[in-house]
Amino acid sequence: MAVNALLSKKDKPHYPSLEARDNRIGKLFLLPAVIVLLIIVAYPVIYSIVMSFHRWRPTDLNRSFNGLANYIRVVTDARFPESIRNTFIYAIVGACFKVIIGMGLALMMNRKFVGRSLARVLLMLPWVIPVTASVTAWNWMFDGMYGIFNVLLLRLGVIDSYVNFLGQRGMALACVLIVGIWMGYPQMMMMILAGLQSIPTEMYEAAKVEGAGPITTFFKITLPSLANVMSMTIILSIIWTFNSFNVIWLMTRGGSGTHTMNTLAYEFSFVTMRYDLGAAMSVLILVFLAFFLFIYSVKQRED
């Protein structure tokens, strides 16, 4: 009996479950995307890491292994400490101001008033306008000879002579930071606005019945309800701003003390044609970004 049962069980065909078949089909559909990601993301990253440990110049075929020489050359460059400082200033300070401005505007846009839809569209323009067009306009406004800021400040009596905003250390970084904040606040505003609209209105109605004012309501209901959204927004903003390159390069080319790690990597690679130094700088940027991504992933798991 046992032998017959075993034989009958052995001869019975085995069909995969519906879930297993769906998983198999899903993997087949994901395969092209995985291949594309490996080609356009993984391969360049690995290639840059390999390049950073070699002597690699476009005019020199002697691409020999030189260990950590490229990294030593990068970290001993006189502009390297300043580029790290500027990167963190640009990323962290910029992210904080984007969130603060985005929070204020999101609170306004969450209220009902005439023309709210038009106001939302206008506030989103800095994020929608192409970067080149925005930077060109800001360069004209900051111009040291005929910029509108110089004209206004002269007529108001704030300054006595024209100021080269983008040519002075410290002031140039502040100007770049202002442009970065202006271009980035709309995205923060929309993310916070989405979080505000998810808060139940019953909570505000109950607070109003209890006699709570706007400030108490904001600190007791709005901020605690937006804690997860705010933390994720700040981390994402830091990552995006940390990775920013185009605004600074188009405005100052890294001059007047505005070099960040990204612009310095670009200058190493495509201005001085030292691909090996640019690759080493890119790997260092990757390490910093991996740290922020780790914080983001930990926070996402907690939420």
At 122-131, the pLDDT tens digits run: 999 898 888 8
CA–CA distance from 219 to each of 207, 223, 227 (Å)?
A: 12, 5, 11
Q: Is 197 exposed, middle or buried (0-12, 13-18, 19+ CB in 10 A)?
A: exposed
- Region 59-65: what's the mean pLDDT? 79
Residues 138 and 144 sit within 8 Å (Cβ to Cβ): no
pLDDT exceeds 90 at position 303:
no
- Region 231-253: what's the mean pLDDT? 84
CA–CA distance from 82 to each of 225, 253, 285, 289 (Å)?
A: 38, 15, 14, 18
pLDDT exceeds 80 at position 300:
no
Cite the DSSP H helix spans in the chain.
2-11, 18-37, 43-52, 69-75, 80-88, 94-109, 116-128, 131-141, 148-156, 171-197, 201-209, 214-217, 223-225, 227-242, 246-252, 261-266, 275-302
Query: How does pLDDT run across 192-207, given as a tens digit for each residue?
Result: 998 888 888 888 888 8
Q: Which of 2-6, 213-217, 255-259 has the lowest mean pLDDT?
A: 2-6
Looking at residue 52, its amino acid is S
pLDDT exceeds 90 at position 176:
yes
Query: How does pLDDT run across 87-124, given as a tens digit for each residue?
Result: 988 888 988 899 899 999 998 988 888 888 898 889 99
Going by pLDDT thresholds of 50, 70 and 90, the confidence category of residue 17 is: low
Q: Which fold has domain 80-258?
A: MetI-like fold (1.10.3720)
pLDDT exceeds 80 at position 6:
no
pLDDT exceeds 50 at position 7:
no
Cut 0.85: pTM above it: no
pLDDT exceeds 80 at position 62:
no
Q: Which residues contact 235 (CB under 8 A, 6 or more apart)?
A: 292, 295, 296, 299
Query: How does pLDDT run across 19-60, given as a tens digit for each residue?
Result: 666 677 777 888 888 888 888 888 888 888 888 898 888 777
| Mean model confidence pLDDT for the chain | 84
What residues form DSSP beta bridges with 54? 65
